[in-house]
Amino acid sequence: MTELLSQAYSKGNGLFQTPQWMRVLLRDEEDPLTIKPNTGTGSIRGLINVIDLANIYSCSFIATDDLGVLYGDSHFEITGRMDNSDLRGCSLLVV
């Protein structure tokens, strides 16, 4: 996402880790105002929200239509896109 100054990096197996000033939260697919709690154990599934505190003078909060899994150790995985969402980003499908 070019809207963010920070990036999350994968150490393998499709799992990403963010820097300390960046957070990934998951919201409910049916209710976009409901953030799913991360209890620190197990995993949760939902739509990805990103908060990047490195963006001092711009938007530091991005709500995506990307589906993901957030694990208790704060690693996350992107599993796809929400049905009927607009194609966006650098990996647009060309038919």
| pLDDT tens-digit series, residues 30-59 | 888 899 988 777 899 999 999 988 877 777
Distance CA 8, CA 12 (A): 12
Residue 89 lies in a domain: no
How many domains, the chain?
A: 1
**Mean pLDDT along residues 2-25:** 87
**Ordered DSSP codes for 33-81:** T-BPP--SSSEEEEEEEEEETT-TTS--EEEEEEEEEEETTS-EEEEEE
- Tell me the pTM: 0.79
Residue 50 lies in a domain: yes
- CATH number, residue 48: 2.30.38.10
Residue 4 lies in a domain: no
Which of 61, 77, 70 lies closest to 38 in space, CA to CA?
70
Range of the domain at 72: 9-81
Q: Look at residue 1 and tell me whether its pLDDT is greater than 50.
A: no
